[in-house]
């Protein structure tokens, strides 16, 4: 939609709230229009009115909390959710989700106090929530205890075992214990997705310590279920970490044999062929198909920029990579854009971007390799 469309929609929404000032639905619709137009302050005001008019509508509270959280106002977001009645598992899950990406000590203490007021019979069904709370508070021993108390067969039991495994491996340095737990989890479930979750996590934890053992876990998992696209894709990405381009290609082609238009597999194959081989024209074909399916996927747009660079089309490469960097801010995309700027003789902009990226993403291997190759003096 263009700005004129949004202007008209806002006028219509304003007319509706003027005609029906006591209608929570009118204010909800007004907020939706404001959000679509990028007016988060207007959306916030509309949602505040809606919540005042319909305090028992949890979805409205959730929407208002989300707007507050987007504006880094987590305490206000939590206050809105903490006033929902009753304070049940759904509300506590939303309150924890609000702080998951950016833990806030004050908010976590408030949630902890509220959870500890639970009746004894409620605590059992809130064990997973308490595990999450203590994980966010960086108290792994407490988190482990609560995750272990999640009742077998509950909706959260499977996820609780996965979180226990992560904490055992990473916080307790007990990788054998984590592997044993994941093996038990696979034995206890008939659900193939849950078994795949356990295999994927075991391989991920092992890859940090022993890549050979991690590879064996992927192989065993795929032997058990060779049609699982998640397993094939994960092993493909794992293989490229060992420069096994042929192995990656084999796994991605197996995915495409099962699902010919799978955009992730098309993009991964195209990007790898562009980056690691001289099969650039073939790579372009795969990336074009991925982008046709998901034109606004930043990773796909980045791949298109990179293959254009490898084909020698610097202007097209810059166009795609600038757009990719708008869509997804990460070290790999920044490295690609900076390299093409450098090769296009836009060296000051390239240096500035490398400096900014090294500060924001010092762990990005693609970024470090690019700087080391082209501007090593920028490295600390």
The tokens for 256 are 């495409």
pLDDT at 99 over 70: yes
Q: Closest by alpha carbon to 331, among 298, 370, 361, 301?
A: 361
Return the pLDDT at 380.
Answer: 85
Return the pLDDT at 1.
Answer: 42
**Domains delineated in the chain:** 118-225 (1.25.40)
Q: pLDDT digits over 120-153, tens only?
A: 889 888 999 999 999 999 999 999 999 999 998 8
Model pTM score? 0.86
In this structure, of 9-18, 136-145, 153-162, the range with the lowest mean pLDDT score is 9-18
Average pLDDT over residues 103-116: 95
CB 10 within 8 A of CB 37: yes
């Amino acid at each position: 939609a263009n700005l004129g469309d949004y202007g008209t929609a806002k006028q219509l929404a304003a007319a509706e709230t003027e005609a029906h000032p006591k209608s929570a639905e009118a204010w909800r619709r007004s907020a939706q229009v404001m959000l679509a137009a990028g007016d988060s302050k207007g959306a916030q005001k509309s949602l505040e009115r809606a919540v005042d008019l319909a305090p028992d509508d949890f979805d409205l509270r959730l929407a208002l909390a989300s707007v507050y959280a987007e504006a880094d106002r987590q305490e206000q977001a939590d206050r809105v959710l903490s006033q929902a009645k009753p304070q049940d598992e759904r509300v506590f899950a939303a309150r924890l989700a609000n702080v998951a990406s950016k833990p806030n000590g004050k908010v976590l203490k408030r949630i902890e106090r509220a959870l500890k007021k639970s009746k004894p019979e409620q605590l059992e069904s809130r064990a997973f929530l308490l595990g999450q709370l203590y994980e966010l508070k960086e108290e792994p021993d407490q988190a482990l205890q609560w995750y272990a108390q999640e009742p077998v067969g509950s909706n959260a039991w499977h996820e609780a075992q996965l979180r226990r495994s992560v904490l055992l491996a990473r916080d307790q340095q007990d990788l054998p214990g984590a592997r044993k737990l994941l093996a038990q989890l696979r034995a206890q479930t008939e659900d193939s997705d849950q078994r795949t979750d356990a295999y994927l996590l075991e391989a991920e934890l092992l890859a940090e310590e022993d890549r050979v053992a991690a590879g064996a876990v992927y192989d065993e998992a795929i032997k058990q279920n060779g049609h699982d696209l998640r397993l094939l894709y994960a092993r493909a990405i794992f293989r490229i970490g060992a420069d096994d381009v042929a192995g990656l290609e084999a796994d991605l082609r197996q995915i495409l044999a099962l699902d010919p238009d799978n955009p992730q597999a098309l993009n991964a194959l195209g990007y790898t062929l562009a980056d690691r081989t001289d099969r650039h024209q073939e790579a372009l074909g795969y990336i074009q198909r991925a982008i046709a399916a998901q034109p606004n996927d930043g990773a796909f747009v980045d791949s298109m920029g990179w293959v254009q660079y490898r084909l020698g089309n610097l202007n097209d490469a810059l166009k795609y990579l600038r757009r990719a960097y708008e869509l997804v801010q990460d070290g790999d995309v920044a490295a690609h854009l900076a390299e093409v700027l450098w090769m296009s003789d836009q060296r000051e902009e390239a240096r500035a971007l490398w400096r900014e990226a090294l500060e924001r993403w010092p762990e990005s291997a693609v970024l470090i390799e690019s700087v080391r190759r082209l501007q090593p003096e920028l490295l600390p």
